[in-house]
Structures are given as C-alpha cells and as structure tokens.
Amino acid sequence: MNKDVNFSIVAGVIALLVGLVAFTYNWVIIGGGWQYFGVFLFPGNLVLSMFSEEIDFWPKFALQMSGQFLVTFFIAYLVRKGLNIHLR
C-alpha cells in the first residue's frame, strides 16, 4: 500500500481509540456532561451532526465512531498528499 494511505490508517485508528477512550470516560466515569467530550470527538460529531437526534444509541454510536475514523483518515490523507505535492 501507499505510504500516505498507511499513515492515514494509523492516524484514523489513533483517533478512533482516542474517541473510544473519551466516550468511555464520559459515559462510565463522569456519567455524562464532560466539557472536553466535544473536543476529543470532533471528527465523529461532524458526521453525527448530519443525522437526526432520534436515532437509537447503537446506530448513533457506530456513526460517531466511523466518523471519528473516516474524517481523520481523509484529512490526514489530504494533508499528507498536499505536503508531498508541495515539497516536490
């Protein structure tokens, strides 16, 4: 695979793991209302904002976590590609 794709996958997985830890911390330890929750889950919240609030918990959670990975993946890929083109 391409180095840019590998880098983007790693960035997406790291963002996904950060999102899972932040969600677990907010849900289990704090009990909701953690003020930095939106900061850590910003990529996931971008995707989630396109859908209605009436979605059940598990589909909403899946959308948020997939958005956490995909938005980070695409941004990392575009930035990496842009830097490769710019630095040549």
The conformational region for residue 32 under phi > 0 = left, psi -120 to 50 = alpha, else beta, is left
The confidence score (pLDDT) of residue 15 equals 96
Contact 71, 47 (CB under 8 A): yes
Q: What is the number of alpha carbons within 13 Å of residue 33 lying toward its C-beta?
A: 2
pLDDT at 88 > cutoff 60? no
pTM for this predicted structure = 0.84
Q: What is the pLDDT of residues 6-51, one digit of tens each?
A: 999 999 999 999 999 999 999 898 888 888 888 999 999 898 888 8
Instruction: Report the C-alpha gap between 26 and 24 in whole angstroms.
Output: 5
The confidence score (pLDDT) of residue 82 equals 82
3-state secondary structure 8-43: HHHHHHHHHHHHHHHHHHHHHHHCCCCCCHHHHCHH
Q: What is the pLDDT of residues 69-81, one digit of tens each?
A: 999 999 999 998 8
Number of domains in the chain: 1
- Domain enclosing residue 77, as ranges: 3-87
